[in-house]
Structure 1
């Protein structure tokens, strides 16, 4: 009788283990999240942070006329060369979610600095950049200005700033501009007037 009882208990215990093991995977729960295609935006604005977008004005200051020596002026908040330097950023926010498209940013200065019919002959506008960044580790590698380099604008010519080739540039890409400089050579005739020129930034949603 004692042996039979022991066998019965052992059998019940084995049966409970078998029942438990077969019930471990009883049901599935599936989670889903759906993303839809977003937009691509050039020069996205960041409220309260002027350094996060392209500046709308470059103030190189007011200076007495002289023609003997070359001049180099830096754009500042009010033109005074001791004031905070004007900075900015060439930025693209690409949330299209479509790999293989790419995009490009180019820059040009169509005309020389002018005051009416007077031209600031030989003046060279340039800007210096920092390091290109991308929050998705998808840095553009196409034709562009190099990190920490300076690009001088040649009148009537277009220069490449950033080119994202196919499968590059998704997410947030930014190229900081650390300063804008205006160089005026010696022996340049000047009128007592305000000279102006326009910088044109061109964005294309394809890497043309």
Structure 2
């Protein structure tokens, strides 16, 4: 206690510290999709990914107890073909593997593809071959009429020249570690050629039956030549024909299935507060020359698998005193004063302390701030202690998991302190990291209150209000 006598009587000030603790943890729950960056490379509109793991948050994936493996099929579907004029590169299907499962996911056989295909007479190379046959078949139908059984067969084959229907084929899955990939194009072209060859054989058989028909005899020769030209072209396709089939086909309603085997991870994977980890697999049908994984990881064409993991924690603990007693002091105005908070207010007693800790084992980016703000001046009913300053002295910071570059801590030595004044907010600690997990803690080893000289003081109890926050967010 500091005691000064006035001419009249001893007047004492009792300074009371009111402390409000607010711990606000803002969890990053929203995902910002960069779908626009995929517009230029996605082959189909409305691409949707699913998988058959049957895992849910309530029932995470169960691995075989002997092999520690699980077979899972991933599927992507797409509807209408996008504007092919804006697409460049090779048609491919990609399955992006979550980072913590890289090396644990491998192909389990070939990919299975189903797609509806149309061809156009306007397409280069193939369009010319089909166009000649189409014209001659229509001339024959004009002669025979549309009601004869043979006419119906010809009409159906004419339609199948261009509307190939639903084609099915398989493709090898290439394992690139962080993603699996198939060549969508090569198998597609082979399936189209196989389908057209079947139509050619049926047309050739019909021509044999029509060879004796006098009415269409003049058309048989040119049609036979046109069909033979198509047959030869399909049997020994040129690079131009292959390119035409790959790029000029009109595709829709595609479904691609990647059979995979997932190994049970042998390294620690952290989950949420219940120990569940959600892993997102992004799957796309694209036409591109360069695979940029970051583009796919930001998209919303994904399916998820839930794994049992280590418990994930994200919380702060501010063990701060709810009252700071700076003691009773005789009023004087000639000198500056600085008082220490103790349990009794007696300045000779041990200082009151506080402890702040933070644990965050969540995956992904962390942006923690621990702050304190004075929201009212030191006041009693008559007056305020203008320009007073609360000084916070920080202790040693200890941490695990994080690195020096992740943390901004203002107390670098025992003499460092933060000055808190009315309506002023100070940051006691900042933690910013993209992916590290860990914990930290530090002490507030001393609370001091500075009162300037030449300050009018009235007898009474002075109080102030402070708000402490711990937040994790943008």
Q: TM-score range by the shorter chain?
A: 0.7 to 0.9
Counterpart contact for 1:73–1:183, Cα < 8 Å: yes
Distance 1:187 1:203, change over 3 A: same
* Unpaired stretches in structure 2, ≥5 consecutive residues: 1-65, 69-263, 273-311
Output one character per residue of 1:136-182: Cα deviation in whole Å (capped at 9) or x when no partner: 24346455423232000132121111111123773221121110000
Q: How does 1:94-173 map to 2 (within 5 A)?
A: 94-95=360-361, 97-139=362-404, 141-148=406-413, 149-167=416-434, 170-173=437-440
Counterpart contact for 2:363–2:435, Cα < 8 Å: no
Q: How does 1:21-32 map to 2 (within 5 A)?
A: none
The alpha carbon displacement at 1:101 in A equals 2.3
Provide the rounded CA distance (Å) in 2 between the counterparts of 1:169 and 1:75: 37
Provide the rounded CA distance (Å) in 2 between the counterparts of 1:132 and 1:167: 21
* Unpaired stretches in structure 1, ≥5 consecutive residues: 1-27, 45-52
Aligned to 1:175: 442
Aligned to 1:78: 344
Counterpart contact for 1:92–1:173, Cα < 8 Å: yes
Provide the rounded CA distance (Å) in 1 between the counterparts of 2:452 and 2:401: 43
Aligned to 2:62: none
Residue aligned with 2:366, SS: coil
Provide the rounded CA distance (Å) in 2 between the counterparts of 1:143 and 1:59: 30
Bigger mean CA offset, 126-135 vs 137-146:
137-146
Counterpart contact for 1:140–1:169, Cα < 8 Å: no
Distance 1:34 1:93, change over 3 A: closer
Provide the rounded CA distance (Å) in 2 between the counterparts of 1:144 and 1:160: 9
2:353 aligned with 1:91:
no
Counterpart contact for 2:387–2:421, Cα < 8 Å: no
Residue aligned with 2:428, SS: strand
The alpha carbon displacement at 1:54 in A equals 1.7
The alpha carbon displacement at 1:132 in A equals 1.7
Select the structure that is richer in strand: 2
Bigger mean CA offset, 30-39 vs 84-93:
30-39
Residue aligned with 1:76, SS: coil
Match of 2:459 among 171, 192, 195: 192
Select the structure that is richer in helix: 2
Match of 1:43 among 310, 313, 317: 317
Bigger mean CA offset, 75-84 vs 141-150:
141-150
Provide the rounded CA distance (Å) in 2 between the counterparts of 1:188 and 1:168: 51
Provide the rounded CA distance (Å) in 1 between the counterparts of 2:315 and 2:371: 15
Q: TM-score, normalised by structure 2?
A: 0.34
